[in-house]
């Protein structure tokens, strides 16, 4: 009995070490990042991982057009609104959501999904997308840029003429513009 417990404990230790080793390995190539905005009662936090281009074809290549993308790497990208907001003039309830996108050549679909946490409270792995958990789907504008962004970046800045905030998703020579304002 004692021998079985020692073997079982050894297996558990190996599994835990492998999990944290793999996590550290993947984070080295796609590090964690946070984009935040807090102004005039509008508070937004985005937790995501930043993959790099590394001379690859991104959109239409490793991120195919017309398919759901985890919008980053590793765990899901999680966006949190501390109050009710409007995204591209569509009302969105306060809360935390998994952020997925569907890149297309002309525009993108932004998806807010309720499947953002595991049973243990950690962020889900980004490949665990379930369409039935979609809360919102919105069309947003996309523009091609002359400059290239090597590492996927989410930035939130003041909107035009004091109209809330603008969230930018930037990678390669693409920028997606997402207007967000407080309701």
Q: 35 and 23, same structural domain? A: no
Tokens standing for residue 54: 């590394």
Q: 44 and 19, same structural domain? A: no
Return the H-helix or E-strand segment holding 138: strand 134-158
pLDDT in tens, 145-169: 999 999 999 999 998 876 799 999 9
- Alpha-carbon distance of 174 to 59, in angstroms, equals 8
Q: 5 and 58, same structural domain? A: no
pLDDT in tens, 110-123: 999 987 665 555 55
Alpha helices for the chain (secondary structure H): 2-29
What is the model's pLDDT at position 26?
A: 47
Mean pLDDT for the stretch of residues 94-109: 96
Which range of residues forms the domain containing residue 93?
31-182
pLDDT at residue 126 greater than cutoff 70 = no
- Alpha-carbon distance of 11 to 6, in angstroms, equals 9
User: How many domains does the chain contain in total?
Assistant: 2
Pairwise pLDDT comparison (26 vs 62), residue with the higher score: 62
Report the mean per-residue pLDDT for the chain: 87
What is the model's pLDDT at position 101?
A: 97
Q: 42 and 17, same structural domain? A: no
**pTM attached to this predicted model:** 0.81
Q: 147 and 122, same structural domain? A: yes
Q: 120 and 156, same structural domain? A: yes
What is the model's pLDDT at position 75?
A: 86
69: which residues sit within 8 A by CB, 6+ positions away?
A: 63, 100, 101, 102, 103
Mean pLDDT for the stretch of residues 114-143: 78
């Amino acid at each position: 009995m004692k021998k079985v417990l020692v073997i079982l404990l050894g297996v558990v230790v190996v599994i835990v070490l492998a999990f944290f080793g793999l996590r550290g390995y993947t984070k080295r190539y796609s590090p964690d990042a946070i984009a935040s905005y807090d102004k005039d009662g509008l508070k937004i936090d985005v937790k995501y991982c930043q993959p790099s281009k590394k001379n690859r074809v991104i959109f239409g290549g490793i991120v195919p057009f017309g398919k759901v993308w985890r919008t980053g790497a590793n765990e899901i990208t999680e966006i949190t609104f501390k109050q009710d907001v409007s995204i591209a003039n569509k009302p969105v309830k306060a809360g935390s959501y998994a952020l997925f996108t569907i890149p297309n050549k002309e525009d993108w679909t932004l998806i807010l999904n309720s499947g953002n946490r595991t049973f243990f409270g950690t962020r889900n792995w980004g490949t665990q997308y379930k369409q039935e958990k979609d809360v919102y789907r919105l069309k947003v504008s996309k523009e091609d840029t002359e400059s290239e962004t090597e590492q996927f970046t989410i930035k939130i800045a003041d909107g035009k003429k004091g109209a809330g905030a603008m969230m930018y998703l930037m990678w390669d020579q693409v920028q997606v513009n997402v207007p967000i304002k407080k309701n």
